[in-house]
Each structure stands twice: as C-alpha cells, then as structure tokens.
Amino acid sequence: MSQLEKISEHACFGGIQGYYRHASIECASAMRIAVYRPPQAARGPVPVLYYLAGLTCSEETFAIKAGAQRVAAELGLMLVAPDTSPREPRFAGDDVSWDFGQGAGFYVDATEQPWSAHYRMYSYVSAELPALVQAYFPARADAQGVFGHSMGGHGALVCGLRNPDRFRSVSAFAPIAAPSQCAWGHKAFAGYLGENRDAWADYDASVLVARRPHPSPILIDQGEADRFFVEQQLLPEQFTAAAKSSGQQLTLRMQPGYDHGYFFIQSFMADHLQHHARLLCG
C-alpha cells in the first residue's frame, strides 16, 4: 500500500474537501485524487461514492464544477474522484489528441505499447483506489457506489457491471454507453487494446449488461441537446436495448434542452446522490 500525501484540505459544508497524491502500483506512476469527507465521517465510517470524470478532466473537475458537496454532506456520502489518466511518465504524442492519451485513459487496462506500462485505469479504479480509500479514510467497505460522466460514465457502468459485489450502486451522466459502436470508442480501444474486438467487449457496457445485469437499478440521465448524443457518440439506446434483453432495472431519463456540460450535471446531481444513498444507506 502506497503512502498518501496531502496536497491541500478545505472546509466545505461542515466536512473536508481534500486533494491528495500517491504512488500507484497499477499505473506505476504518481496519481492524484480528490476526496470529500462529509461531516458524519468525523464520527465513523460512511458510504463512499466514486466519481469518474470525462475527457480532458482531472481529479479537480468534479469537486469544483459538480456542486455535489452540499447534498453529500446532508446524505453522509464520501465522494472520491481520481484523475482521468496517469500524467507521468510522458509518451510521444500523448497530448496530441484531446480524446486519447493524457486526460483520456478510458478506464481500461491497456495492452498495447507504450500505454500498457502505465494506463491501467480499470484496475486502478476497481481495486487499487478502493483499497487506498479504505486504508486512509473512514469509508464503509460494504457501501460503495460508482458514477461518472461521458467517458467516466462509460467507466462507471463498466466498473459497476464487472464488480457488482464491490460497487453496490451505479449511475451515469451522458455515458459513452456502447463504445464499440462509436468513433470515440473505436479510437480509444484500438489504441489501448489493439484491433482484436473480442478484447473490447470487456469494456463495453452494452455488451456487459446484456451478459449479466447489475443486481441494483441503474440511473442514467442524458441531455437531448447534447451534441455528442446527436453525433451518435453516446448511444444510450443501445444500452437500453441490452438492458431490456437481460432484465436489468434501468431508468434512462432524456432531459430536454440540456447539453453535455456541468450545468447539466449540476441540475441532476442531487437525484444521483439520492439514488446512491437509497442503495448504500439502506
């Protein structure tokens, strides 16, 4: 277990919003995380909710933009947000594209060189990060959930569906719901996983939910004015059809007038936190 280094901590709605750094074993590099401890955490362990951010974001994005701390303080939820990719060491061309490389780890364990040495975001999020949080913060091991936005919504669905015993609750904002069938997914999966599409299936939420539903209901919000939805990058209809085929409990809410950004996320954040609280707090 690596040591956790405090970068900064700030009082927030009676709790503490902190930023930290540690040496990741999975990513073989330094990784940064943001953790919000609600006021209830001062008295004992609380449920913990992992948020996975989207393309170009960092561990700071959610804490600054989502407006989640006030409701999390009311509900007694700890919020953990990791960075979206390793930031060191650097690779040639890793910042050429906004949708591949730096800030775009896609929550997969890369198998292609040079990415395979460090871009192991799936194992980092689903195993190493929860163990780190359990070791350093008053988080309940029996009450963990995962949610995210866009690329992070994809990651949340995948991590939740593949690890239902660890992540008891799942939700997403505008997720890349069928990455094997969209341009973003083709680029990322080919670059990180190679051209063998059988390997892609393990990171495609629509494939996974058709194989085995999550035991808890899943909540997804999608803005109808989201240009990436219009451009067929997100494909929530594919996930809906797959969920129906396996009997997955799913609430997909199409939100008129909302786009892909954090004003959309802020608008429905309370609903998502309450969704998780119902499942994690009992």
| Catalytic residue positions, numbered | 150, 226, 260
* 29 exposure class (CB count in 10 Å sphere: 0-12, 13-18, 19+): middle
Tell me the residue ranges of DSSP E strands in 93-208: 139-149, 169-173
- Measured in degrees and rounded to the nearest 5, phi and psi for residue 174 equal 40, 55
Do residues 161 and 122 make contact, with C-beta atoms less than 8 angstroms apart? no
Nearest C-alpha neighbor of 181 from the set 207, 220, 211 = 207
Provide the b/e sequence for 43-61 (b: ≥16 CB within 10 Å): eebbbbbbbbbbbebbbeb
Residue with tokens 């390997």: 199
